[in-house]
Amino acid sequence: MSRVSGLRSSLFRFLCICSVIAYSVTDAKAGITSSFVRSEWPSTDIPLDDEAFIVPEDPNAPQQVRITQGDYDGRAVIISWVTKADPGRSVVFYGLSEHQYDHHALGYVKNYTFYNYKSGYIHHCLVDGLEHDTKYYYKIGTGDSREFWFETPPEIDPDAPYTFGIIGDLGQTYNSLSTLEHYMRSGGKTVLFVGDLSYADRYEYDNGVRWDSWGQFVEKSAAYQPWIWAAGNHEIEYQPHLGETQPFKPFLHRYTTPYLASKSSSPLWYAIRRASAHIIVLSSYSPFVKYTPQWTWLHGELKRVDREKTPWLIVLMHVPLYNSNEAHYMEGESMRVVFESWFVQYKVDLVFAGHVHAYERSYRISNINYNITSGDRYPVPDKSAPVYITVGDGGNQEGLAGRFTNLQPDYSAFREASYGHSTLELKNRTHAFYRWNRNDDGKQVPTDSVQFHNQYWASNQKRRKHRHLRMSSHIASC
Ligand SMILES: [Fe+2]
């Protein structure tokens, strides 16, 4: 071998080694722990006399107006509101044009006491038989009443585009208000709410007042588009020292869900279909082990999912199954052991949770071989597994969970302790764009952006060589 060819050979080997190193670096999926921490406002509730809670002057005008989906497929809404002075008439007038209400629906009214608090009259009214993809105007009660509108979703279709917002642990501070106002500018058409609504339970003796203020706080969004409710620990309100032993009492009186439409036996766990999504809501604080009603229902509901019609399978719960924050660390482990193998088997796309007051997104990983008593206890990459997203960063009075575990686990793709909300834009049966939007100096900043490929269609049609999610995270302000 000549000296020149020897040099060429060495140079070639060097370049090969360099390219292997470069490829490894590019291909590595190192997670990001963002050092950015944003807590713009103090973690205290907005005073009750603030305009954020302003109610109509008429003491018996409907207030705290909100809607949620009323059936399985999005052709019905449940409209809820409160009248303070007397029950009035529980009726909703609605139609296709403003000020012209050709139809009406009758609701029912209920109230409750909690220690020394007596609620107003809480109305719930099912409006069904609606057309898909249509704007309806509605007014509540008789006389010169308040008027609102909502839009029904498109017909169930695998390629129906639709945008959801995801909010958790909202509360009623100025940070909460910032989150809510940013969400309202996001283009989201329905809120997936992952539990812990008002934090009224922090007011032990007059918590109903803060339930009322929160109802008014979210009205500017919730009266015009459905909020899909999951319950959190702050909804439990089990307080035997006050004589209150019925769990979820204020929440269940005030907030309704269409649980019967999905054959559930409890309003705390249920499912809806909307556009191209099948959304399953679970209760972290209701029994879920084998043979319990929730376990049995979920077993059946997963079999009813038809990915040919609703390709996007999304699960909501309050307590995250994967969380590398020191707050609430491993609290979701028992539910993970029970349900995770189903999530992998049925190729759930996304699992959204709250509870931890920070943001975190996982890679597609699973730990189904580990059942607490045996197996390898560390999660592994799994292309059939969901992405787990914690978005408990709505901005409540308890403040941020600012301490992540020192080493970011391999399963954690992105984490940051700031307030914000997420949006999920379903584009068609194969693609969705997801963003987490940090509340940043009064501006909405897309901070963690990911393109998701559908778990059913991407793998079934082998449209892509790499079916894994493609990550395009970036920190906008860096
Ligand atoms: Fe919580």
Low-confidence ranges of the chain (pLDDT < 50): 1-7, 9, 11-12, 14-28, 463-478
Sign, CA torsion 241/242/248/249: positive
pTM value > 0.85: yes
**Is 318 an active-site residue?**
no
Find out whether 429 and 443 touch, Cβ atoms under 8 Å.
Answer: no
**Which of 124, 278, 318, 328 is the catalytic position?**
328
pLDDT in tens, 7-19: 454 544 544 343 3
How far does Cα 242 stand from its chain's mean position?
31
CA 299, CA 313: separation in Å to the nearest integer? 14
Residue 153 per-residue DSSP state = P
How far does Cα 217 stand from its chain's mean position?
18
pLDDT for the residue 111? 96
CA 197, CA 122: separation in Å to the nearest integer? 17
CA 182, CA 174: separation in Å to the nearest integer? 12
- Centre a 10 Å sphere on the Cβ of residue 345 and count the other Cβ atoms it contains: 11
Residue 286 per-residue DSSP state = S
Q: How far is the CA of 196 from the centre of ligand 1 (A)?
A: 6
Q: How far is the CA of 319 from the centre of ligand 1 (A)?
A: 7
Q: How far is the CA of 331 from the centre of ligand 1 (A)?
A: 11
pLDDT for the residue 333? 94
pLDDT for the residue 441? 55
CA 22, CA 16: separation in Å to the nearest integer? 10
CA distances from 277 to 271, 417, 454 (A): 10, 29, 11
Q: How far is the CA of 387 from the centre of ligand 1 (A)?
A: 20
